Structures are given as structure tokens and as C-alpha cells.
Structure 1
Amino acid sequence: MTTTAPDGALVDSATQPETRGIELIDDSARHGRARDLFAVWAAPSVNVLALTIGASMILLGLELWQAILVIVAGSVPWIFTGIIAVSGPAAGTSGSVITRAMFGFRGNKVVQAFMGWLVAAVFLALNWLAAAFLGAGLLAQFGVSDPVLVPILITLVVAAVTVLIAVYGHGLILRAYPAIAIVLIAIFLVVTAFILPHVDWAYRPAEPLQGVPLWSAITIGFAILASGPLSYMNSPDMSRYLPRDTKPSHIIAATALGGALPQTFFTIVGALLATAVGSAMDAGLEGALLALLPAWLAPLFVLGVVINTVALNGMTTYSSSLTLQAIGVPIRRIPAAVVVGAIGAALTIYLALSTSLLDAVNLMLQFLILVSAPIMAIFVIDVISRRGRYNGEDLFDGRPGGRFWYTAGWGLPGVLAFVAGVCTSALFVSTTVWTGPISEALGYIDLSVPVALVVAASVYAGLQRTRLGGKGRP
């Protein structure tokens, strides 16, 4: 189905660029079903980062069964991603606009300028980095091993295709991702079949962790795992074209299960992979994995990684282009997508030449949680308290006195809750670069995720009931 803007331009076609940005979507232009969202989230969730993160659970010192339990627990936050997706059809605009209801017009610009770019940069870079490392590893087997030129060329090619996906936008994502999901699941299942014979099912670390060190590893692992679903605040962008009367429960289920099921499965496969390759992982997980695969499968797997990278980063770039418009940058959505892609490619090239994949993934995801978890908590509380009801016109009324103008354009309940969540969670985080004082006192136990969620949610829910909530309160 194709819909048109008032000027007759195609806005949701799989074969032409989407011209609509954050503008409200009229009921006549709504289409699709909630179940379509399952494949939209499954395609980007079948990725090599899942294998990498799963392997890192073993590197933290966990036994195999412990790693699997932490991985399953880390998939629970996908429910939050599903809950906020409900706001998309209700408001008929992007998530970066809907958050004006929480932070006010001016406050939202600050939060989105920081968070929107941070999430985009981190996930664009991490996924392109995975493709660059694996592609370079594969080409090295054929004698092409320039450590500088090869990662740069791979990054630039993948980035260009990714931006093209973002330019065509929602229509292409909705129609292409089901096929992409099927192809990726098939490739990764074949790869899994070659990993399983090498798995050490009785794996135990030489010195099993106990007591505080064990809880430190468990909580750090959970923080890394939870950072993924807690950062997907763009789920309303994917659901905004759905008819207004789409059942919220269906939206939540399709979004949460689409992301959680494949990601959980292949993250567990990553943990199994770590027991299979053992010390060979020290030289790079990507090389150790390729060594397990037959010659005919390695190129197919790298192709799957590239396809997934394009799928995930295409979605991220698309949402980031909407964020640029939401914060007031005078740029159309398509040029905005190009700008986002260029910044992500530059960061990827820097990381590819200066770090390893495992180090980059773990460190960046742990820091990302400091800002993504509080915003997700605030968003979820807002959706629940409003029972998923948003008036799109109010979200675009930026005049003083408007419903979401709040205090001089600042939604103080949301802004203060965000600051409180970030500051308190920073006290409980444990990374190789920064360890919060409370985490250090507890023996490097990382409670940044639950602290960020509880503090931000509590402060926001409490302040919204006061005068600070003004006319914008639920």
C-alpha cells in the first residue's frame, strides 16, 4: 500500500524515498497490522553483536548455565520497548516528538540532541565495526589484509547502503524486513549448527566465581545485555503508521517478542561459542568464529552480518533523521539521514583502527545505559499514566501556554527525573574506565540499570502529580 502527502508526494512506498518527516500522519494514511512489527524488530535482532555479547558473558567469568540465566533476564527489558511503541499510533508522529510530553519543547531538544545522537553514534559504530572486523578477517584469508584500508572501505560501502535504506524509510523497512529476517535467521542457524559440535557443555572457568565477584560479573553482564532494548526508544517510529485503533497489547507483544526471541537465542549461541573457541578468542572473536566455519559458509556468514548491519543501522539512521527535525534543525529528513550516516561512519573508522570488537561493545554499551535507562523509564511511566493516549496536535503546539510548554518550555518533572536517574546510576556503574563509588564499595557490583529505572520512574511519577506537571500532567 502507498500513501501520499498533501502535495501528492509518496511518503510510505517501498520503491520511492519517504518524503514525510515528523509531520502528523492522518488517519487516511494509516495502514498495516501490529503483527507486522514482529519482523521489523526480528531482522535487526539477528546480529553478530548478539554473539559477541554472549561470548563476553563467559569472559566475565560466568559458568555456562549462569550466563544463560543472565541472558534470559537481560531480554526482559524488551517489554519496555513494546510499551512505548503504543504511543506511535496514538500520537501519529515520531518518538522524538512524543517525548515533548515528558520534557517540554525546550527540554526535549536538549535531551534528544544528546540522546538521539548518542544512541545513533554508538549503535551505528558498533554494528558497522562488527561488519568491518568480520569482513577484514574474511578478506585476510584471501590475502587482502591491509589493516587500515580494508576496514575503511568496508565501512564506507556498508554505510552507503545503510543510508539508502534510511532514505527510502518506513515503507521499505516494513516490506523488506520480513524477508531479511527469514534470510538472517536461516544463515545464523546454519552457523549455529557448525558451532554446536565444538561446544564444551560442561564448561566451567578454572576458578569459578563465588560471592561478591560472582554478583559483580552477573550485574555487569545484565547491564550490558539490558542496554540494547533500553536504548530502542525509536519503537514509536516503527509503529506510527498503524491505525489509531490498533490494540496496544498486540503492539507490545509484536515489538517485544520480535526483538527478544531472536536476540536471546543467538546471544546464548554466543556464550556457547566462547566455550568452543576458548583461548583463541584472545586474538579476536571474529577470527575464532570464522575458523570454525567451512570455507563455503564463511562468506555467507559475513554476508549475513552485512545484511543485518544494514537492517539495524538503516532503522537507527531513519529514526535519527527524525530526531534532527524534532530538535529543530532546519533540514529535511533525507539530507538528515545522510548527515547521521556520515557521523556514524567516521566514528566506526576511528574505532576500527584503535580497539577490538569485544572491548568496544562492552564499554560503550555500559556507558550508554546511564542515559538510555532513565529516559526509557520516564517514557514507560508516561505511556502508562496516560493510558497510551496522546494528542498529536498538542505535541506540535510550541506556543507559551500550550499543553506541553510547561515551565518556560521545560518539563521539569521529566528533566529532573532524567538528571536524577543519570547521576544516581553513575554511582553504581562498574566499567574499566569509570567505577562509581558505591559500586566500588560493593565490590564492583553494577546496579546501574535497576537504580536508573527505579529512580527516574519514581521521581517522574511523583513530580508529575505536583504543580510542576501543569497542564501537561496525565
Structure 2
Amino acid sequence: MDSQPARPPGDDLTPGPERIERRTIDVVPEDERHGRTRDLFTIWFSANLGPLTVVTGALAPTAFGLSFYWSLAALLVGHLGGGFLMALHSAQGPQLGVPQMIQSRGQFGSVGALAVVLVVIVMYQGFFASNLVVGAQSLGQVTPLGEGTGVLLCAVVSLAVAVVGYRLMHRIGAWTTWAFGAIQVVGAVYLFAGGLPSDFLTSGGFSVAGFLGMVSVGALWQIAYAPYVSDYSRYMPAHRAGVRSTLWCTYAGCVLGSVLPMVVGAAIGIAGDGDPIAALHHLLGSTLGQLTLWSFALVTMLTNSMNLYGAVLCAVTAVQTFAHRWLPRATGRAVIGAALTALSVALALALADSFMTNYLNLIYVLQYVLIPWTAINLVDFYLIRHGAYDVPSFFARDGGVYGRWNVTALAVYAIGILAEIPFMAQSLYTGPLAHALGDTDLGWIAGLVVTVPLYWLLAARSTHRDTPAPAPITGVPAA
């Protein structure tokens, strides 16, 4: 068994903000760890300040028919619940020092994890393309740039930031949190202090299906970050970035950063007509509207650099599964990133005319495939292994102590998805139980209810207690 990564630890960049990141999926050694947990607040707060967040909030009245107050309630329930699951994944990064999808080999096996890795790559490309569309729309409101040119500009800047890597993304996140966060807070105050039509609070209504549908959207918005949230905490020192501080800084940043624009989006969806971004620009007026749209365009580039960065790490993970000595550095990361960027640009231009329909369908599909994965990953990390993993086995040719396939995890994952089918309710398919409940989508709840206890029961019995692994991490419940 080849139990070591192909490249020795320590050949990466020396500490220094001017250097381009050279690591990809290999372990970050202790002498290269840096950063503070408050950096997690800023990167996740700023990543959610873009136009796609506003557009998603507008779905509450436009797609689900909710009034403003019911929209607000649904958003809070979804984000507060989904954000906690997402932040639990973030806490894994400093403890293991590897990307999230590499860590998933500890549950699914080195080859078995590909089932999730490939789904996540599709997710990244979908969100990348979606952000390109709304980013270009924001630029189109304040510049003479056409849609195609705006998409290309956003894509090129995102690629450049992703190539420089981890440090730059965290630095940009810190800058944009305070600058663009302030702009959006001022805009929200202006809107709710009198910039909205007087009757917007009485518009819309309530339905169980609509409420739960928007709760699902909010929860999935948070959980969609789970497959790569620990990619942005893995460089942090384990002794300084404890589980609790990592969790709560990530949670606060992501929830606050997403709820603010989505609440504005819900109000715009009621008050506006058609394009939420154009409606927001009109309601805010010339100066504040232009500042907001410029901030949207720039934040979109940061968010998309994160989507691209995660997609590259997943692509490397997929190839390294079969070429276990292949660990590309900065140049390889740039080439892979350029290829994925080109694919997303083509996708964005193709979907621009029917963006909202395609985006909503993407959210539903992701919901059904990510919920069972996140349940398995968190149960395994926190309740079964208590954070103790044999990290070198993640890179072994034969999967090390975790093997190439974990039949238990894969079977539970498949069962979790199957359990969701009768409860699905969306434009492509409505299950019989969902239809009987008034076309209410409860698929994600069914996925959690089935996957969590089933995996806990089966995996606890099959996990080898004599597996060589480091001591349990601080802050994870002991057996």
C-alpha cells in the first residue's frame, strides 16, 4: 500500500501573501498553517452578497406565492437549519488539513467517493454559470457592456483570483465584507424606510407547499456550500481553529450574509415586475443603485472564484483516484480552471434566456443528492469516528484502511435518495406522497430522516475499532 501523498509536505509556498498557491488536494502541513477563524466570517459573509442571493430571495413571492412576512419566516427557518449543517463541515478543515471531497474518501472509499465528487463538479458548474448570468446583468445595468462581454469579463476575473488561490480569496473576502456589506445595509434601510410601495406588505399569501418549498431553497443554499466549505478552513492551525470557533464563525458569516440580500430579494419580488436586479436598481435610485450593482458584479467574481477553485480541487480528486501519484500544482490548477471556466461560459450563454427556470430546477436536483451525502459525512465524522481519521489512507492507491469502495456508505446514500422520491414535488416530477400532501416537497426531510439513523446504525457496527488514526480532535464528542 502506498500510503503517502506523491509530493512531500513542505515543498509548497512559504508564508507570504504575494505567492501563488501551489497546493491542490494534498495535506497542508502544520508549518504552513495560518489565519484566524474570524477570516471564515468575512469570506462567507462576502460570498453571499451577490445578485444571485437577491434573485434566490425573490423566489419566495414569485415562485412560491408567499407574502413578505411568510417569506421572511421561511428564509430564517431554512438558513438557520441548513447553515448549521454547513458549518459543521467547515470545522473539519483545520482538523484534517485536506479538501472536503478528499475527506469523503473516509466514508465512501477512494473510488466510491467519486459518486459524490462528480455530482459536486456539476453543482459548481451550475452555480458558476448562474453567477455569470446575474453578474453580467448587474454590469449591464451600470455599463454599456453587452451580456456576452459581461459574462466573459466576470469569468476571466474569477479565473485569475482562483489561480492565485486561497490567500487572495480570503483577503478579498475581508475587504468586500466591510465595503460592500455597508452598501447593502444602507440599501436595505433605504428600501424598507420608504423605497418600497406602500402595499408590498399586504401582497402575496401563504401555502404549506410554498412555505416548505422556500424553506428547502434556504436550507439547500447553505448545504450547497458543504462540499467545499472546509476547503477554506484547511490552512488554519488546528490548535487555534477549534471546532466551536470554526463552526460559529462560519455559521454567522454565511447565515447573516445570505439572509440580508434574500430578505431584500423577497421584498423586490413583491414590489418589482420581472427582473429583480433591474427592479432593485430602479427602487434604489441612481447613485445608491449603481453602487449596489457594482458591488454585485464584483462580489460575483469572488463567489465564482470560490466555485471554480472548488471545482478544480474536485476535478483533481477525480483524476487522482486512478492516477494516485498525480498531484498538480499552480500551473495544472490554472489549466484545469481555464477549461472549466470555458465550459461555464458556454453554459451561461446557453441558459441566459431561461435563467430562472433552469436555476430553480438546479436547486431542486442538488437538494436531493446533497442531503444524503451531508448526513453520512457528518454522522461519520462527529458520531462514529469523532474526528479520528488516517489521513495518509486518503491518498493510498488501494484506499488504505478505508478501501476503494465502502458498500455500506454507498448503499445508504442510494437508499437516502430513493427515500426522497415519493416526497419530491417540483416541475420535473411530483411523487405520490407529495401529491397527497398538496404538492408539498418534503424530499429533503425524508432524506435526512432515513439516512442519519440508518448510516449511524450500520456504520457503527462495521467500523473497525482498531483502525490506525490520530487521537480524537478537541471539541468532538467522545465515545
Letter in 2 for 1:22: I
Aligned equivalent of 1:190, options 176, 186, 189: 186
Letter in 2 for 1:228: W
Partner of 1:443: helix, strand, or coil? coil
Offset of residue 11 of structure 1: 6.3
464 and 193 in structure 1: CA distance in 2 versus 1, 3 angstrom threshold: same
Is the contact between residue 423 and residue 430 of structure 2 (CA under 8 Å) also seen in structure 1? yes
Q: Percent identity?
A: 23
Correspondence 1:311-460 to 2 at 5 A: 311-328=302-319, 332-352=332-352, 354-356=353-355, 358-385=356-383, 386-399=385-398, 402-405=400-403, 409-460=404-455
Correspondence 1:208-247 to 2 at 5 A: 208-209=205-206, 214-232=207-225, 233-245=227-239, 246-247=241-242
Match of 2:32 in 1: 29
In the TM superposition, structure 1's runs of 4+ consecutive aligned residues that sit over 6 Å from their partners are 468-474
152 and 5 in structure 1: CA distance in 2 versus 1, 3 angstrom threshold: farther
Is the contact between residue 89 and residue 240 of structure 1 (CA under 8 Å) also seen in structure 2? yes
Consecutive unaligned residues of structure 2, counting only runs of 5 or more, are 1-6, 321-325, 469-478
Provide, for residues 409-454 of structure 1, a one-character-per-residue CA deviation record: whole Å limited to 9, x for no partner.
1112221122122222232222222222321222110102211222
Partners of 1:258 and 1:463 lie apart in 2 by 35
Partners of 1:92 and 1:206 lie apart in 2 by 49
Letter in 1 for 2:371: A
Is the contact between residue 87 and residue 389 of structure 1 (CA under 8 Å) also seen in structure 2? no
State how many pairs are aligned.
448
Higher deviation after alignment, 157-166 or 122-131: 122-131
Correspondence 1:48-447 to 2 at 5 A: 48-59=51-62, 60-76=64-80, 77-113=82-118, 115-139=119-143, 150-196=146-192, 197-200=194-197, 203=200, 208-209=205-206, 214-232=207-225, 233-245=227-239, 246-277=241-272, 281=273, 283-328=274-319, 332-352=332-352, 354-356=353-355, 358-385=356-383, 386-399=385-398, 402-405=400-403, 409-447=404-442
389 and 470 in structure 1: CA distance in 2 versus 1, 3 angstrom threshold: closer
Is the contact between residue 11 and residue 17 of structure 1 (CA under 8 Å) also seen in structure 2? no
Structural RMSD (CA): 2.4
Partners of 1:51 and 1:296 lie apart in 2 by 19
Partner of 2:402: helix, strand, or coil? coil
Higher deviation after alignment, 370-379 or 298-307: 298-307
**TM-score for both structures, normalised by structure 1:** 0.88
Offset of residue 18 of structure 1: 1.0
Offset of residue 469 of structure 1: 6.8
2:45 is the alignment partner of 1:39: no
Letter in 2 for 1:74: G
225 and 111 in structure 1: CA distance in 2 versus 1, 3 angstrom threshold: same
Partners of 1:306 and 1:249 lie apart in 2 by 33
Letter in 2 for 1:322: L
Partners of 1:304 and 1:426 lie apart in 2 by 40
**TM-score for both structures, normalised by structure 2:** 0.87
Is the contact between residue 172 and residue 302 of structure 2 (CA under 8 Å) also seen in structure 1? no
Match of 2:323 in 1: none
217 and 390 in structure 1: CA distance in 2 versus 1, 3 angstrom threshold: same
Offset of residue 200 of structure 1: 4.9
Offset of residue 318 of structure 1: 0.9
Partners of 1:311 and 1:117 lie apart in 2 by 18
